[in-house]
Amino acid sequence: MTGYVSLTLADLGVAALLIVFNGAISLAFRLGLEATLAWSATRMVLQLGAIGYVLKLVFAQTSLTWTVAIALIMIAIASYEVVSRQTSPIAGWWSFGLGTSTLLVVGLFTTLFVVSGVIGNEPWYAPRVFLPILGMILGNALTGVSLALETLTQAAHVDRNAIEARLALGARRLQALAGPLQRTLRTGLMPILNAMSVAGVVSLPGMMTGQILAGADPVEAAKYQIMIMFAIAGATASAVLLATLGGAWLLTDDRHRLRLDRLQVKKAG
């Protein structure tokens, strides 16, 4: 095969039978996930369909303004997802601000480094290159940040007595939180470590698969995937580190007291 295969709506309908199978499992075992599954699948189809047409228009412009606008929207949505996935986020705008600043700095810096320093694309803001790479970096970074912040807040609850005892004995805030910080960093980095360890053996990652299906040489596709995995790993590690340190800072105050009262407990349902 030398070219990419175009899919029809009928082809997508056949693929959707796999989602119907998931719904059947939910019904058979009374999981109560049918509505959620249907909504998630519908939302996914609408989102991807809409973004396909939007990107088609944006790609035709090669405009710095449009590229920056779409990038900022992507970062804002990713930041919202970081907060929504936590059971006890930091109250107020602090949690959203932490996610936004972390993903903004890490996402844009890493994407610029890859586009300009590695690929050498001209112009650097060409949306056909910039936005897909930013999307892959944000998608993985937000997973790491979400896991990190969730682990940090839960660990602070579990280890509250030990943390407050260390603080009472004169430990600085990061010293008192050393154990939770260590667990948090490990948890946040675990998904990308797992992804790298099985890439090419258990799974063919998305970028490589897409290029192969589009007719690219498998060796060249593998090179691009290696480059992207390095970028994702670096961005995820940086984002997890910044979010963890920022979260630890917000969970304590200038008097080096643990401030679990700053956490917001979400209501069930």
Where do the structural domains in the chain lie, given as residue ranges?
7-61, 63-262
> What is the Cα–Cα distance from 92 to 118, expressed in whole angstroms?
39
The contacts of residue 3 (CB under 8 Å, 6+ apart) are 214, 215
Q: Place 3 in a pLDDT band, splitting at 50, 70 and 90.
A: low
Question: DSSP 3-state assignment of 269?
Answer: coil
- What is the model's pLDDT at position 204? 75
- What is the model's pLDDT at position 269? 46
Dump pLDDT digits (tens) for 9-34: 999 999 999 999 999 999 999 999 99
- What is the model's pLDDT at position 179? 92
- What is the model's pLDDT at position 266? 65
258 alpha-carbon distance from chain centroid: 28
φ, ψ (nearest 5 deg) of residue 122:
-125, 130
- What is the model's pLDDT at position 2? 53
> What is the Cα–Cα distance from 69 to 72, expressed in whole angstroms?
5
> What is the Cα–Cα distance from 117 to 231, expressed in whole angstroms?
12
Q: What is the mean pLDDT of the chain?
A: 90
- Cβ atoms 62, 126 nearer than 8 A: yes
- What is the model's pLDDT at position 267? 58
- What is the model's pLDDT at position 90? 85
Peptide bond into 218 cis (omega under 30): no
Please compute the mean of the pLDDT values over residues 32-50 and round it to a whole number.
93
Which structure tokens are listed for 9? Answer: 């709506």
Q: Place 4 in a pLDDT band, splitting at 50, 70 and 90.
A: low
- Pick from 184, 155, 173: which is nearest to 242 by CA? 184
| Size (the chain), residues | 269
Lowest mean pLDDT among 17-31, 46-60, 210-224: 210-224
Q: Which stretches of the chain are DSSP H helices?
A: 9-15, 17-28, 34-61, 64-84, 94-112, 127-158, 160-168, 173-176, 178-198, 206-213, 218-250
- Cα separation values, 230 from 48, 118, 237, Å: 26, 11, 11
Of the chain, the percentage scoring pLDDT greater than 90 comes to 66
SS3 per-residue string spanning 87-156: CCCECCCHHHHHHHHHHHHHHHHHHHHHHHHHHCCCCCCCHHHHHHHHHHHHHHHHHHHHHHHHHHHHHH
- Pick from 199, 201, 156, 195: which is nearest to 179 by CA? 156
Whether residue 6 has pLDDT greater than 90: no
pTM, two decimals, is 0.85
